[in-house]
A and B are shown apart, each in its own frame.
Chain A
C-alpha cells in the first residue's frame, strides 16, 4: 500500500471509529448481552473431550495430502540460491529426461497468472505476498521457487528436481538490517492505521521522571513449524479447480486463487477438514498456486507436500524486531511516560509490520505515550502472522522493562503493574468491555506462591542451580472480523446441522461449536452436527486473530434468531408459544420455551409435525463487528515462571509455569486449557531456543530443519498450571473472548524476568541461550 493511500484510508477509518465510539450501547452488537451468557449449568464451560478425538488418535482424520486420486502426480520444487537478480538460463534437459517425469514447469512455460492479492489488501486476499508466481525471470528472495517437477512418484520428482541447473545474474540485494536501514525506514501500517501514537510529551516526561528505564530489546525471526507440512492435493475438472488444502482460510484461498487464474470464485472449491497446526502460517503461499498451475498444464491431479526445508524457504515466519522501551515513573510507581518504538523487517510485497506496540496501547495508564513501529524492506521470504503477531514479542520488551523498573524502584513487579491499572482505555479513552486482570494477578500469585519470592537476585540456590521467579502480563485483543454467516437446518427428528466455512486446526472448533449450538438450541451434542472447512458453506471466517469463536458465535446468533422466528411462525396460534417474539423464547429440552414462563413450551418435533414440514432452515449474516470500536476489548493473563539456571553451564530449565487468565467465559475447560498451555509452550520456545538464522550476507535461512530450528520437546516442558477468572464479557457472543493466542504473550518476559531473579543477568535479546548467561 502506498503511503498516500494508506493515510487516506486511515483518516476515513478514524471518522468511522469516532462515530461508533459515541453511539449508544444499544446500537452496537453486544449491547444486549447474548442470552447464552445466562446459561450457567449446561454444556458451556464443561470439560468435554474433542468429538474428533477418536478419529485423530486412530490416524483416521484425513489431512490435505491424504486424499488418493487416480493418475496422481507428485511435485517437487527447486529454489533460488540468490536473494536478488535474474534467471539467465535454466537447464532442465536432464530433469525432463529422468524416469517418471511428467512435467518440468518454469517461468518459461508456466500458465500466465495474475498477481496474488496479498493478505489484508482485500477482504478475501490470502497471499503471503504479491510476488508474481513463476511469471518472469526476477528473483526476489533466496529460496524463491524457480522450477517445479511433476513425476509419477515422489522419489522420481525429488531426483529430477536435483538435476536442474539454474544460472543467475545476481544483483545487489538488501539482506542486512544495516543496509535496509540505510535505505530509509518507513511508517508501519496495521489494519489500515499507522502504528504510531503520541500523547503528551513522553520524551520530556521521561527525562524529568525520578525513576526510569530505557533499554533496547530484540527478537529474532521465528518459524511456525506446525508439524504438518504445507500440502495440497489439487485437481482440475474442466474449468473447475478442487483443492484439498491445509489452510486456516478456505474462502480467502479460493477467492485469491480464482483471482490468480482469472476465473470465478465459484469455480474453485477448497476443503480443509483437518489442519495439522497453522499458527498463522497456513494461508496462501506459492505451493498451492504452483500445484494448480502444474496440474492444469499436465492435465493430471497433483499432490504437493512441501519439504521441511521448503517450508522455511517459501512460507514466511515472524520477522525480526528491534525495540526501544522506556518508562518514566514517580517514586510511588505511577507511570509518567511509556515509550515503545522500534524497527521491524518486512518486504516490498507484503503488509505485516510486526505490530509490537499493541500491548502498550492498552495495558497501563500513563501520563504520556510515544509508540511507533518503523519498517525496513529486505530481500527475504515475506514475513507473516505468527501466533499473537505484535503481542508475543512486544510483551517481551514492555514486560521486561516493567520488571527492570520495579527492581529499580524496589517495588514488587505485580504491585507496580496494579498501581498503573487504567480505569478506561489509556490511549483511546473507550470504556473496557470487561477487565479483571487484577483478580487474575491475585489468584495466580496465591496459587504460585509468589509471596515466597526473594526480590534479590541470586538469593536462591540448589547445588549448582540458581533458582528464580518471574512474572509478566499477557494481553491480546478481542477481534471479530466481518464476513461471518451461518446456516442452521433443523429436522423434525430434532437434529440440527450448523454450517459455516470455519476451520479446525486443533483449537477445538468443532467440539466447542457443537457444544454452543446444542446449548443454544436446547439439544444434546449428539443431536447437532457442525459442518466446517469448506468454502461452499456460508460465511467468510478466518481462523486467525483468535476471532473464530466470536465470528462463528456472531453468525450463529443471527441465524438462530431467524430460525426461532421461522419456528414461531410455523407454530402459529395453536401453540403454547403463540404470541411470543423471538427474544422472548429460548431453546430448551428439544424445543422452544418462554423465558418468562417455562411452562409455555413446544418441542421442535411437534411444531414441525403440525406444520407438516420435514425441516426448517435459516441462514443469516453476523452483525457488523462494531463492538470492538465501541468498547476497548482485551483479554489478559498473569504469567508466572520459575527457572533453574545452571551456575556452571548457563543452562536454563523452566521448572514451573502458571498462567492465570481473564479471557471472558471459557466454553470448554478441557480444550481451552490446551490452548493456553500450547501458547505457553510456544512462548517457552520463543524465550529459550527459537531462532530462524538468517545469513545477512546471502539472505539465506541457514537452519531450515527441525534438527537446527529448536522447538520445545517433552523434556523442556514442565507441568503447566492454568486457571481463569471465567468472568463473561457482556458484549461478546457467549461472553467469550479468544484463547488461541494470548498464551504465547508475556511468556518471553516472564522467563527473562525469572532468569534475572535467578542470576542477576538481564537478557534483552531473545532467545535466552546459555552463552548469554556465562
Chain B
C-alpha cells in the first residue's frame, strides 16, 4: 500500500485489518501518534487527513492510501516547533505528554473548523458570520481528547493564545 504522510510518499506491506494508527506506529515507526483506547474514546491517536482531524484507531489504513495524512511529526520538531506546540510547552498544557500529540493535532483541525464557521453544541448563535471563540467553545470542541493528568487549563490557554496570535497576524497581513 502507498501512503502520503507528512508530505512524504511511504509504502508498507500490511494486513487489511491494520488500523491507520497501527500502520503509523508499528510499520512506519511514527510513534508520535498514541494509542490510549483503540476504540475512539480518548483521542490520543488524532491525526489530520486532508486537513480534518480523525481518530486513526478507527480508520483502516487501506482506506487512507493517497490521502494527505499529517501526524504530530509533520507539524514541527524540537528546534522548529509549530506555534501551538511551543504554546503547549509555555502554558504547561501537558504533564506526562502521552495525550499531547493528539491534543495538538486535534486543536489544529479544530482551528480550521472554527475558521470555516462549523458550529458546535455550545455555539450561541449558529447564524453569526464568525463564531465567537469563547473558552466554552474551545472546551466543547476539544472534549474528544482526554487528558488524565488534568492539564486541561494549560491546553485551553495554549490554544486560545495561538488562535489570537494567528488572528492578529491575519489582521496585520490584511492591513499591509
Contact = CB atoms under 8 A, between A and B. Distances in A.
Interface of A: 49-50, 52-63, 65-66, 68, 74, 153-156, 159, 224-229, 274-277, 279, 305, 307-308, 505-508, 670-671, 673-675, 677-682, 705-707, 711-715, 717, 719-720
A58 B80 CA distance: 10
B94 A506 contact: yes
Given A276-B96, A715-B139, A59 B149 contact: no
B5 to A, nearest CB: 13
Contacts of B18: 153, 155
B149 to A, nearest CB: 5
Interface in B1-32: 15, 17-18, 22, 25-26, 29-32
Which secondary structure dominates where chain A touches chain B? Answer: loop
Given A57-B104, A274-B97, 4 more contacts: A50-B89, A57-B81, A228-B36, A505-B96
B89 A60 contact: no
Contacts of B168: none
A99 to B, nearest CB: 9
Contact of A506 (B76, B97, B144, B156): B97
A215 B98 CA distance: 41
A227 B139 contact: no
Given A49-B92, A53-B88, A673-B92, A227 B135 contact: no
29 contacts: A50-B89, A52-B97, A56-B100, A57-B88, A57-B104, A58-B73, A58-B78, A59-B100, A63-B31, A159-B17, A225-B148, A227-B42, A227-B148, A228-B36, A274-B96, A275-B96, A276-B98, A277-B149, A671-B92, A674-B95, A674-B149, A675-B95, A677-B151, A678-B150, A707-B40, A712-B152, A714-B155, A714-B156, A717-B139
Contact of B72 (A59, A227, A707): A59
A485 B116 CA distance: 56
A635 B156 CA distance: 29
B38 interface: yes
Q: Which of A50, A276, A673 has the most CB of B within 10 A?
A: A276
A678 B104 contact: no
B89 A279 contact: no
A677 B22 contact: no
Contacts of B92: 49-50, 670-671, 673-674
Given A66-B25, A276-B98, A227 B152 contact: no
Interface string B114-154: 00000000100000000000011011101111111111111
Contacts of B38: 307-308
Nearest to A303: B26
Contacts of A277: 95-96, 98, 148-149
Contacts of A671: 92, 95
A228 B98 contact: yes
Given A714-B143, A715-B139, A720 B96 contact: no
Interface string B62-100: 000000000111011111010001101110101111111
B44 interface: yes
B39 interface: yes
Nearest to A277: B96
Contacts of A225: 148
Contacts of A56: 94, 97, 100
A324 B101 CA distance: 44
A124 to B, nearest CB: 24
A227 B78 contact: no
